[in-house]
Amino acid sequence: MATYKIVHYLNQFFGGIGGEDKADFKPEVREEIIGPGQALAAGLGEDYKIVATVICGDNYFGENLDEATDTIIDMVKKYEPDMFVAGPAFNAGRYGVACGTICKAVEERLGIPVLSGMYEENPGADMFKQDVILVKTGNSAATMRKAVPNFVTLIKKMTTGEEVLGPAAEGYLERGIRVNYFAEKRGSERGLEMLVKKMAGEPFETDLPMPKFDRVSPGPAITDMSKAKIAIVTSGGIVPQGNPDHIESSNATKFGWYTMENMDRLSKDDYMTIHGGYDRQFVLEDPNLVIPLDVLREKEKAGEIGELYPFFATTTGTGTATNSAAKFGDDIGKKLIEEGVDAVILTST
């Protein structure tokens, strides 16, 4: 008889329900061990039992945050588990946000320890690493095997109340929490050692890493929209039929500029989406759902906006590294400044 009961959370993909076409899957509970749960169960041994697995589609969760959270909490509560584990989400953005959201809610409302895991560039990581311990994983499920020992150690420590050590020792994402300890050398000595290393061009570890203030001030408001030149940018993967520049459907390394000149709307005969992160059936039928050219042309004709910049910039947002996205933004911004664009509408799926 297992001593500790665990409830595990998975998305539709890892839960074996299906891909993007099943991303609307409503939360369901299965009294079995599924997918990544198998690896965790094997590592944890017989003192631990995954008594149930909750599966929820990423889109359903993202679009119904409060409702999905309430439903899942009720499901978890029924099993009176000792711990709740979600994911890991690797580099799946919506899944990462779902894992973080549900872990935080379970901890707050049910008062049990929670644990999830993801890749450090997953948007869910920045959002939740301060609230939830997130085991560091690689960007794909192939890295699961490496992450399992850290999950196992943390689950054991958290259920038994043993002290959880720092992020480097336990393999979780830095939470920005400072813990007091007695150092062997006093501050002045450490400072001088760092200075000497720095002067010698050697690597050193600071006692106090500075937080990254990665914010940009809002651009000024447009004072006369009827004279403004507007540009459209999207991460929704809209490209001309055939994807001439071979923009990747996931983890994009490039973006493209494509014309909208002399068009009243984006026709499905000329444009398509190659985005690998959502069910494409609606957008393939009507690309204006992502690039609202039809509406903007009407606004241009009515004189409500000055003019529409004739090209749109596009890439795929899913799985794309934030560093790549920042670079695309920089290239796009530079070009739009040169072209005298006054404001940008950026759409994301």
Partner 1 sequence: MVKGIEKYGIPVVHMCTVVPISRTIGANRIIPAVGIPYPLGDPTQGEAESYKIRERLVERALKALQLPVDEQTVFEKDNF
Nearer to partner 1, 71 or 318 (CB): 318
Which residues of this protein are in contact with partner 1, per CB under 8 A?
A: 23, 59, 62-63, 93-94, 97, 101, 123, 126-127, 214-223, 225, 228, 230, 233, 235-236, 278-283, 285-286, 288-290, 292, 294-296, 298-299, 304-305, 315, 322, 325-334, 336-337, 341-349
Nearer to partner 1, 67 or 193 (CB): 67
In the bound complex, what is the minimum distance in angstroms from residue 215's beta carbon to partner 1? 5
DSSP string, 297-323: HHHHHTTSSSEE-SEEEE-B-TT--HH
CA 331 vs CA 160, 290, 338: distances in Å: 51, 21, 11
In the bound complex, what is the minimum distance in angstroms from residue 195's beta carbon to partner 1? 33
CA 183 vs CA 22, 93, 192, 204, 307: distances in Å: 53, 39, 15, 16, 63
What is the 8-class DSSP label of residue 110? H
In the bound complex, what is the minimum distance in angstroms from residue 317's beta carbon to partner 1? 8
CB 124 within 8 A of CB 89: yes
CB 47 within 8 A of CB 3: yes
In the bound complex, what is the minimum distance in angstroms from residue 259's beta carbon to partner 1? 20
Nearer to partner 1, 80 or 304 (CB): 304
CA 191 vs CA 141, 185, 186, 187, 212: distances in Å: 41, 10, 9, 6, 22
Nearer to partner 1, 47 or 339 (CB): 339
In the bound complex, what is the minimum distance in angstroms from residue 153's beta carbon to partner 1? 29
Nearer to partner 1, 137 or 235 (CB): 235
Nearer to partner 1, 23 or 152 (CB): 23
In the bound complex, what is the minimum distance in angstroms from residue 227's beta carbon to partner 1? 12
Nearer to partner 1, 200 or 302 (CB): 302
In the bound complex, what is the minimum distance in angstroms from residue 146's beta carbon to partner 1? 26
Please count the CA atoms within 13 angstroms of the CA of 32 that sit on its side-chain side: 6
> How many Å apart are CA 90 and CA 95, to the nearest integer?
9
Phi-psi region of 10 (alpha: psi -120 to 50; beta: other; left: phi over 0): beta
